[in-house]
Amino acid sequence: MKKVLIVLLALLIIAAGGFYFLRSKGSSETSNKYKDFSFISEDQDVDKKDFARIDGQYYLSLDFIKENIDDTVSYDEAEKTVIFTNSKGTKRAKVGADEGTLNTQKFGIRDPIIEKDGKILVPTEIFIYDYPVELTYVQDKKLLLMDYTNVEYAVGTSTGDGLNMRESASVNSPIVSILEKDSKVYVYGEKGDFYKVRELDGYAGYIKKDLLDVELPKNKFKMDIPEEKREAKEPLNLTWDYTYGPQSQESINLITDVKGLNVICPTWFSIKDTNLNIIDRGNQEYVDKYKSLGIEVWAYLDNSFDADLTREVLSKSSSRDTIILKTLELTKKYGLTGINIDFENTRVEDRDNITQFVRELSGVFKQEGLVVSVDVTPQISSNVKNELYDRKALADTCDYVMLMAYDQHWSSSQTAGSVAQYKWVEGNLNVLFKQIPQDKLVLGIPLYSRLWNEDDTKVKSSALSMNQVQNILQSKGLTPKWDDVSKQDYVEYTEDNKHYKVWIEDSNSIEWKVSLVNKYNLSGVASWRKGFETQDIWSTIDKVLSHIK
């Protein structure tokens, strides 16, 4: 009997030890907390009623905005109008409306404010860029994250492989994620033996303190970053003045004041050949006349739109240096105050060389007090590494980045369409906001339309100036109709068994596009090109830009 008691006691001790071991090891249950589309603000899980993703647009509730982003945001229940007041001015938008106002200047709204489940949901594009916050969508985790750009967070590093992040501060809580060695997490606070954390691009939860090495900014879990005071800049209003040969005396004689224009950029300089010669089309009288009108003149350098030449010239440091110095000499020769770099028809393989060239040129030109700008196309690929330009790197080194937001449909397009449909322009801007700061981003707009000619076999088009379009309308007695999708007048007609279509760029369409500068706090506008416009265009652009604070 005594032996039986001893055996039973031993079994109890073993069972208790096993139970203790299992409890100390913790639960192996996997959490399903984030199985559906979720939103985490810093380390806090946001109630599903306070956010939505509809047709690719992200919405945040007015309650969430008021509590976490701007406690001064107001809602007029009677007029169903949301009102934001901040350093950019006063912005108003009604529930269901496709237009809003900023400082009395209208802007378009792609996706309107909606009411859902008793909440007012505001599309983020209306307001998010006015505040020091950043939204990131992690596609493979169906997760929307929000962080503050004016806050420095404590960062923890996992000390080993297979570290469990749990739903709550207990080893018996389900596992949210398993970290590999040297994985980074933001650390927001502590609870008992655990830190409250969130993966940099993922889930939130708790990790035991002894499993993390934590770097605290000034012994705090997070610390406000002092805001840099930037000198307010007048919105850029630039136009390119295209010339394919030496600037003619006739064009110089026609120079007059242009309302609101503060920079003109004649297309004077081109890399000519692999001997590193530069074509010079400049004229001092041209510069002097514009300067007398208070309009700055910038240099312009292109690659002759030659991919092979671009590769040969930019692949060598010495060649880049020679081109830079020759360009600087020409810039100083004519007393120009900045430069615009326009390298087109290039290859993806040469994007880093383009970036390096611009970086090197910028370093030289800025020492001379010269403004540096570069032109980029809209982003086509979802993978930025497959793009012709490293837009983020270019933005880091330049004063301005011009988005050439036109040629949506161009000369070789297989279907007729707008040169720059409003929603297409706005969509391309939104894609670039994570790569180019708004205070460096300049919206490029077209001052031309395309006359599309369709028959049974092919589609052709030709570029038309605004005056040429008006002449066609008048000579043929045509009355265009407003296309609210493209924010343009549209006309079509048949002649000699051929069908013609024109999406018209004029004062109305330009006003809509320039309003995006105001809506998104961009640095200004650049128009292609002088000579294509009707005179009312300059007053229209100036009127819209004058509302920017």
Taking only the tens place, the pLDDT of each residue in 266-294 is 999 999 999 999 999 999 999 999 999 99
DSSP state of 414: S
**Are 519 and 107 contacting, i.e. CB atoms less than 8 angstroms apart?**
yes
**Are 443 and 403 contacting, i.e. CB atoms less than 8 angstroms apart?**
yes
* 240 shares its domain with 218: no
Q: What is the pLDDT of residue 527?
A: 98
* 218 shares its domain with 186: yes
* 94 shares its domain with 165: no
Last residue in a domain, options 84, 106, 135: 135
β-strands 263-266, 296-297 pairing = parallel
Q: 205 burial class (0-12, 13-18, 19+ CB within 10 angstroms)?
A: buried
Q: What would the DSSP string read from start to end of 326-386?
A: HHHHHHHHTT--EEEEE--S--GGGHHHHHHHHHHHHHHHHHTT-EEEEEEPPP-SSSGGG
- Percentage of the chain beyond pLDDT 70 is 94
Residue 183, in any domain of the structure: yes
- The string of pLDDT tens digits covering residues 424-452 is 999 999 999 999 999 999 999 999 999 99
* 392 shares its domain with 520: yes
Last residue in a domain, options 204, 226, 248: 226
Would the pLDDT of 227 be above 90? Answer: no
User: Domain of 397: which CATH number?
Assistant: 3.20.20.80
* 201 shares its domain with 250: no
Say which range, 21-30, 92-101, 247-256, has the weakest mean pLDDT: 21-30
Find the length of the chain.
549
* 195 shares its domain with 107: no
* 217 shares its domain with 317: no
User: Domain of 208: which CATH number?
Assistant: 2.30.30.40
Would the pLDDT of 32 be above 70? Answer: yes
Nearest to 476 by CA among 449, 495, 451, 501: 495
Would the pLDDT of 25 be above 80? Answer: no
107, β-bridge pairs: 100
Q: How confident is the model at residue 548 (pLDDT cuts 50, 70, 90)?
A: confident
* 429 shares its domain with 536: yes
In whole angstroms, give the CA distance from residue 99 to residue 112.
8
* 120 shares its domain with 165: no
Q: Label residue 307 left, alpha or beta by phi (over 0 means left) and psi (-120 to 50 means alpha).
A: alpha
Residue 413, in any domain of the structure: yes
For the segment 54-64, the average pLDDT, to the nearest whole number, is: 97
Residue 56, in any domain of the structure: yes
* 315 shares its domain with 413: yes
Nearest to 368 by CA among 332, 323, 399, 340: 332
Q: What is the pLDDT of residue 10?
A: 52
Would the pLDDT of 218 be above 90? Answer: no
Q: What is the pLDDT of residue 3?
A: 59
174: containing domain: 154-226
Residue 303, in any domain of the structure: yes
Average pLDDT, the chain: 93
For the segment 367-389, the average pLDDT, to the nearest whole number, is: 95
**Are 229 and 87 contacting, i.e. CB atoms less than 8 angstroms apart?**
no
Q: How many domains does the chain have?
A: 3
- The string of pLDDT tens digits covering residues 482-520 is 999 999 999 999 998 899 999 999 999 999 999 999 999
**Cα(first)–Cα(last) distance of the chain, in Å?**
93
In whole angstroms, give the CA distance from residue 122 to residue 20.
51
**Collapsing DSSP states into helix, strand and coil, what is residue 252?**
helix
Q: How confident is the model at residue 15 (pLDDT cuts 50, 70, 90)?
A: very low
DSSP state of 214: E
* 216 shares its domain with 93: no
**Are 64 and 122 contacting, i.e. CB atoms less than 8 angstroms apart?**
no
In the chain, the amino acid numbered 178 is I
- The string of pLDDT tens digits covering residues 173-199 is 999 999 999 999 999 999 999 999 999
Phi, psi of 337 (to 5 degrees): -105, 0
Last residue in a domain, options 135, 166, 195: 135
Residue 165, in any domain of the structure: yes
Residue 338, C-beta contacts closer than 8 angstroms, at least 6 positions apart: 263, 296, 298, 299, 370, 371, 372, 373, 399
Prediction pTM value: 0.86
Residue 159, C-beta contacts closer than 8 angstroms, at least 6 positions apart: 181, 211, 212, 213
Nearest to 300 by CA among 396, 235, 370, 364: 370
Nearest to 140 by CA among 3, 37, 239: 37
Q: What is the pLDDT of residue 4?
A: 54
Q: What is the pLDDT of residue 72?
A: 87
Would the pLDDT of 116 be above 60? Answer: yes
What Cα–Cα distance (Å) separates residue 1 from each residue in 4, 6, 13, 240?
A: 5, 9, 18, 104
In whole angstroms, give the CA distance from residue 390 to residue 393.
6
Nearest to 449 by CA among 489, 496, 401: 489
In whole angstroms, give the CA distance from residue 306 to residue 245.
18
Residue 5, in any domain of the structure: no
β-strands 524-528, 441-446 pairing = parallel
Would the pLDDT of 18 be above 80? Answer: no
- The string of pLDDT tens digits covering residues 294-342 is 999 999 999 999 999 999 999 999 999 999 999 999 999 999 999 999 9
Would the pLDDT of 23 be above 50? Answer: no
Q: How confident is the model at residue 237 (pLDDT cuts 50, 70, 90)?
A: very high
Residue 478, in any domain of the structure: no
Q: How confident is the model at residue 388 (pLDDT cuts 50, 70, 90)?
A: very high
Residue 289, in any domain of the structure: yes
* 342 shares its domain with 428: yes
Query: Which helix (DSSP H) or strand (DSSP E) does residue 197 occupy?
Result: strand 194-199
Q: How confident is the model at residue 19 (pLDDT cuts 50, 70, 90)?
A: very low
- The string of pLDDT tens digits covering residues 138-185 is 999 999 999 999 999 999 999 999 999 999 999 999 999 999 999 999
Neighbours of 328 (CB within 10 A): 18
